[in-house]
Every structure is written in C-alpha cells, then in structure tokens.
C-alpha cells in the first residue's frame, strides 16, 4: 500500500503543519524562560506574582520546558487521530484494532508523526486487513451471550442479540436511552464489512459507519429500527440490547465457514 491510496489527506501538508506547531511550542518555551528571568530580576521583592502580569508567566513557565515533550506527544496523538479518520484507514480495522488505537491516542502513546512512520503504519494495517476481517467475525461471536435462544453457540443464525448496543441511564420505569453505543457500533461495522467483502463489494467507508448512521437517525429514540448498508437491520430496546437481523442468508453461511475455521466446535452449514 502506498500513500497514493489515501488522496483525501495531504501527508506532506500534515507533516509541515505538525512541524510548524512543534517549532512554535519550542519557541514559546524559550520565551517563557526569558520572561521568567526578566521578571525575577525586575521585581525581586514582589510578594504576589499575580500583581504584575509579567510574573504570571512564572506559572506558565512551570509547564515549560519540563512538559514540552508531553505537549509534543499531544500534538502527534491529535495528528494521528485526524490522519486515521480523514484517510479512511479505520475502514480496514476491526473493532479491537480501533479500540487499541483509540487507547494509544488517548494515552498519547503513539509513534512520532513522520513520513516513515506513517508509511510503515499504513502498510502494516493494510497488509493485516484480511486478518482483521476474520478477527471481526470471531470477536462478535465471542461477545454474544448464550442466555438468549436467538444466539446459537454453534453458528450465526438469521438473528442475534447484542448487549450494550444502546447507551442508557436510569433504572426501571425511569430508564432513558441516549443513543447508540460507540463500541457496539464498531461491532456492527465489523459485520457489515464482512458481509460486504463476502459479497464481493469494497469495505464501506468507516467515516459513514453504523455510529454516524444511527446517530443521524436518532436511533433508538426516533427510529427504533434502522437498516444498515442493505446488510442488516438493527432494533434497539430500553434494556440496552440491540436485536440484529441479517438480510442475506447466503452471506450468513459464508460467515459461518469463517467461524468454523477458527472454532472446530461450530458447524458451518446453515440452520435448517
């Protein structure tokens, strides 16, 4: 995979802007240090730093340059987040891969944003897309609760029930829904991506994924049932569950073959 495959993002421009931000942060750190030295020399008897605006820089200087490295990591984390979304690369990731990247970005544990690191990351994720494609099927299967008869421990049927598909708050009669659960929507995207590829279609763009579609439909407050990509129908309930109905029985059979490949106790044939 080359960067020519992501025309929606100018890598050169992004790197240039990143470097400009870092350069200005470093310049700011030096200026705060200079102001702190001048303020200490000019007002050595001042009892309150806030009494003189210049001395307020002492507070800011307490964060520069000791925290300059943290600020630079924050810039890179923000840039990676923008890059993965704007490029559509998240389209190739399964829910687990997306979660790992989200955690890395949140904790600012990302590689420095360089041309080399961008190319290596994109190449790695693109090469692993088939592996992540199958991992998405297995992850959804493992997340199913066998407390529901609809969920078969031996295969995917025409319907499944996903827990925590709807974000809610409150209890009993005073229970309200707020919208779709972000993590559950990642699982729905995994299923839609699997069905699309098994049907010979390209992966749907993650930027137009389940979460965006359901949010725009104000699901499940306004529309309790929404069809996604012509592949499945999701219905939300106040208890947080999502009832998923698959629309293509032939694709269910193909998905069960993937399941049987990784779990010998499952049966690939379709349900009678």
CA–CA dist 37, 186 (Å, integer): 52
Considering the domain architecture, whether residues 172 and 251 belong to the same structural domain is answered as yes
How far apart are the C-alpha atoms of 175 and 44, rounded to whole Å?
61
Q: What is the pLDDT at residue 2?
A: 45
Q: Do 79 and 163 belong together in one domain?
A: no
Confidence of residue 104 (pLDDT cuts 50, 70, 90): very high
Q: Alpha helix locations (H) across 43-114?
A: 57-61, 68-86, 95-106
Please give the average per-residue pLDDT across 148-167, as a whole number.
94
My answer on whether 143 and 181 are in the same domain is: yes
119 lies in a domain?
yes
Task: Judge if 10 and 96 occupy the same domain.
Answer: yes
Instruction: Identify whether residues 101 and 179 lie together within a single domain.
Output: no
The pLDDT assigned to 68 comes to: 81
Among 127, 158, 181, identify where a domain stops.
Answer: 127
| Residue where a domain terminates, one of 127, 153, 187 | 127
Would the pLDDT of 159 be above 90?
yes
Is there a contact between 81 and 75 (Cβ–Cβ < 8 Å)? no
**At 137, which helix (H) or strand (E)?**
helix 129-143
pLDDT tens digit sequence for 5-64? 455 578 889 999 999 999 998 898 888 778 777 877 877 776 555 544 555 555 555 556
Let me know whether 121 and 145 are in one domain: no
- Please check whether residue 210 is in contact with residue 91, taking contact to mean a CB–CB distance below 8 angstroms: no
Q: Average pLDDT of the chain?
A: 85
> Which residues, in sequence order, are CB contacts of 43 under 8 Å at separation 6+?
52, 54, 55
User: Would you state the pLDDT for residue 176?
Assistant: 87
**pLDDT for position 187:** 93
**Domain identity same for 11 and 81:** yes
Distance separating alpha carbons of residues 126 and 213, to the nearest angstrom: 25
Q: Rounded to whole angstroms, how far apart are CA atoms 176 and 169?
A: 6
Mean per-residue pLDDT, 131-137:
88
Pair (143, 167) in one structural domain: yes
Claim to verify: residue 188 and residue 144 sit in the same structural domain: yes
Question: Does 220 fall in a domain?
Answer: yes
Q: Taking the CB of residue 272, how many other CB atoms lie within 10 A of it?
A: 3
* pLDDT at residue 270, rounded to an integer: 46
Taking the alpha carbons of 41, 42, 45, 50 in that order, is the dihedral positive or negative?
A: negative
**Is 267 a domain residue?**
no
Query: What's the pLDDT at 266?
Result: 66
Residues 161-191 pLDDT 10s = 999 999 998 887 778 889 999 999 999 999 9
Rounded distance between C-alpha atoms, residue 80 and residue 272, angstroms: 47
Q: Same structural domain for residues 122 and 158?
A: no
Residue at 250 is within a domain: yes
Task: Tell which residue, 125, 108, 238, 218, has the closest CA to residue 172.
Answer: 238
Domain boundary among 127, 144, 178: 127
Tokens 């439909």, residue located: 217
Please indicate, yes or no, whether residues 13 and 121 belong to a single structural domain of this protein.
Answer: yes
Q: Which two tokens stand for residue 225?
A: 């049932």
42, 53, 73, 127 from 32: Cα distances, Å: 15, 13, 20, 46
Mean pLDDT of 260-270: 68
Residues 222 and 151 in one domain: yes
Is residue 17, in this structure, part of any structural domain at all? yes
What's the domain range around 171?
136-262
Number of domains in the chain: 2
Whether residue 218 is predicted with pLDDT greater than 50 in this model: the reply is yes
Residue 228 pLDDT > 80: yes
- pLDDT at position 47, please? 59
This prediction's pTM: 0.74
DSSP 6: -
Which tokens belong to 213? 């579609």
């Amino acid at each position: 995979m080359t960067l020519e495959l992501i025309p929606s993002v100018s890598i050169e421009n992004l790197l240039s802007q990143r470097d400009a931000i870092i350069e200005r942060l470093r310049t700011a750190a030096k200026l705060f240090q200079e102001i702190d030295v001048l303020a200490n020399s000019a007002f050595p008897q001042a009892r309150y730093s806030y009494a003189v605006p210049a001395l307020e820089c002492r507070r800011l200087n307490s964060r520069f340059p000791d925290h300059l490295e943290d600020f630079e990591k924050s810039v890179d984390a923000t840039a990676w987040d923008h890059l993965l979304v704007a490029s559509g690369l998240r389209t190739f990731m399964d829910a687990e891969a997306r979660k790992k990247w989200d955690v890395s970005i949140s904790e600012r544990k990302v590689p420095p944003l360089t041309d080399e690191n961008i190319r290596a990351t994109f190449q790695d994720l693109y090469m692993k897309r088939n592996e992540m494609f199958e991992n998405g099927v297995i992850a959804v299967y493992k997340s199913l609760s066998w407390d529901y008869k609809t969920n078969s421990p031996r295969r995917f049927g025409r319907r499944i029930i996903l827990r925590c598909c709807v974000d809610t708050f409150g209890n009993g009669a005073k229970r309200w829904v707020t919208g779709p659960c972000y993590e559950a929507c990642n699982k729905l995207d995994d299923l839609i991506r699997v069905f699309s590829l098994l049907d010979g279609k390209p992966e749907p763009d993650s930027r137009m994924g389940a979460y965006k579609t359901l949010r725009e439909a104000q699901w499940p407050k306004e529309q309790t049932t929404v069809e996604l990509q012509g592949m499945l129908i999701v219905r939300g309930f106040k208890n947080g569950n999502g009832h998923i109905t698959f629309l293509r029985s032939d694709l269910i059979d193909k998905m069960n073959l993937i399941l049987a490949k990784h779990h010998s106790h499952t049966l690939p044939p379709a349900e009678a």
